[in-house]
């Protein structure tokens, strides 16, 4: 179990990092604007699941491979950058249908909010991939979590990672709701807002490509 004193120290530090804007936040914002709060929240859940994946990688000791094997880091880095560029371009061109690239057609069933099955799964899946394909998050967790519990304490690491994921989904859920509210107030300008988010996603993708293999900020962009 993680001591209360550890959580008291960990939660403020984690919140400060979660509130720093990054690709995760921008993607959830774009889905909240483009497809509504339900899809935005699914994207937030996907990002939080990605945090759990990174936590598991750290607990299993696999994250160290990104530090010791530069090729592994570069592969994940380029995949992540390419994915951000694809999402950004699709947002700019209006081609983001909420799925993994498959077009939405009239055969897709809808839920009570009017979102298609493709949009529902895509919001979650894309949020997951945006986070998982960011190697800096894995390296950050590798350095950040052991500051609060020993690296040899898998239960403690898992508990802190789970806490980080919970804080992430709460914050990004608020972002999704806020984005939907803004879109409602700016009816007719949704595409402009989505294009703006596309520009930011493309910028993050290009920034990722331009960073040195093991350089860049140690702070995980959310």
**Mapped to the 3 state alphabet, what secondary structure does 108-133 carry?**
CCECCCCCEHHHHHHHHHHHHHHHHC
Between CA 84 and CA 216 the distance in angstroms is 17
Q: What is the pLDDT of residue 192?
A: 79
Q: Kindly provide the b/e burial profile for residues 95-131, where b requires at least 16 CB atoms within 10 angstroms of the residue's own CB.
A: ebbbbeeeeeeeebeeeeeebbebbbebbbbbbbbbb
Element (H, E) at 208: helix 190-210
pLDDT for 197 equals: 83
pLDDT of residue 110: 40
Q: What is the pLDDT of residue 163?
A: 96
Query: Is residue 55 within a helix (H) or strand (E), and if so which, with residue range?
Result: helix 37-59
- Give the pLDDT confidence score for residue 221 in this predicted structure: 60
Do 147 and 135 touch, CB atoms closer than 8 A? no
Q: What is this structure's pTM?
A: 0.79
Tally of CB atoms within 10 A around 194:
23
What pLDDT shows up at residue 69? Answer: 87
In angstroms, the CA 222 to CA 217 distance is 13
Instruction: State the Cα torsion 58-61-63-66 to the nearest 10°.
Output: 170
| Tens-binned pLDDT, residue by residue, of the chain (222 aa) | 688 899 999 999 999 999 988 899 999 988 888 788 899 999 999 999 999 999 999 998 888 888 888 888 889 999 999 999 999 998 888 765 443 333 333 333 344 444 444 455 568 999 999 999 988 888 889 889 989 988 778 999 999 999 999 999 999 999 999 988 877 777 666 677 778 888 999 999 999 888 754 444 445 667
Closest CA to 157 of 170, 147, 172: 147
């Amino acid at each position: 179990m993680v001591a209360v004193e550890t959580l008291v120290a960990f939660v403020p530090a984690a919140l400060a990092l979660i509130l720093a804007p990054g690709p995760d936040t921008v993607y959830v914002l774009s889905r909240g604007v483009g497809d509504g709060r339900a899809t935005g929240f699914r994207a937030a859940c996907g990002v939080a699941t990605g945090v759990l994946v990174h936590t598991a990688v750290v607990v299993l000791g696999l994250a160290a491979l990104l530090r010791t094997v530069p090729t592994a880091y570069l592969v994940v880095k380029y995949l992540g950058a390419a994915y951000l560029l694809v999402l950004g371009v699709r947002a700019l061109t209006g081609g983001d249908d909420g799925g993994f690239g498959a077009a939405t057609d009239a055969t897709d069933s809808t839920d009570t909010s009017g979102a298609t099955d493709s949009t529902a799964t895509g919001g979650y899946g894309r949020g997951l991939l945006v986070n998982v394909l960011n190697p800096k998050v894995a390296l950050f967790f590798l350095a950040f979590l052991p500051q609060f519990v020993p690296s040899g304490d898998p239960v403690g690491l898992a508990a802190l990672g789970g806490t980080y994921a919970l804080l992430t989904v709460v914050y990004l859920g608020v972002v999704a709701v806020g984005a939907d509210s803004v879109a409602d107030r700016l009816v007719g300008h949704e595409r402009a807002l989505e294009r703006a988010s596309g520009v930011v996603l493309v910028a993050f993708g290009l920034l990722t490509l331009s960073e040195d293999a093991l350089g860049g900020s140690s702070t995980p962009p959310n």
